[in-house]
Amino acid sequence: MILTVRAVEDPAPLAARIERLEWRDGRATAGATAKAVKRNLQAVLKGREGEALHGDLLGLVADNPVVKAAAQPRRFSRLLLSRTEDGGHYGAHVDNALMGTGEERMRTDISFTLFLSPPEDYEGGELVVYAAGMTQWIKPQAGELVLYPSSSIHEVRPVTKGARVACVGWIESWIADPSQREMLFDLENLRVSLRASLPRQSAELLTLDKTIANLLRMWGRR
For 77-110, the pLDDT digits (tens) are 999 999 999 999 999 999 999 999 998 899 999 9
Q: Which of 91-125 are b and which e, b meaning 16 or more Cβ less than 10 Å from the residue's Cβ?
A: eebbbbeebbeeeeebbbbbbbbbbbbebeebebb
Beta bridge partners of 107: 98
Q: What are phi and psi of 87, to 5 degrees?
A: 85, 0
Residue 32 has a pLDDT of 67
Q: Enter the pTM of the model.
A: 0.93
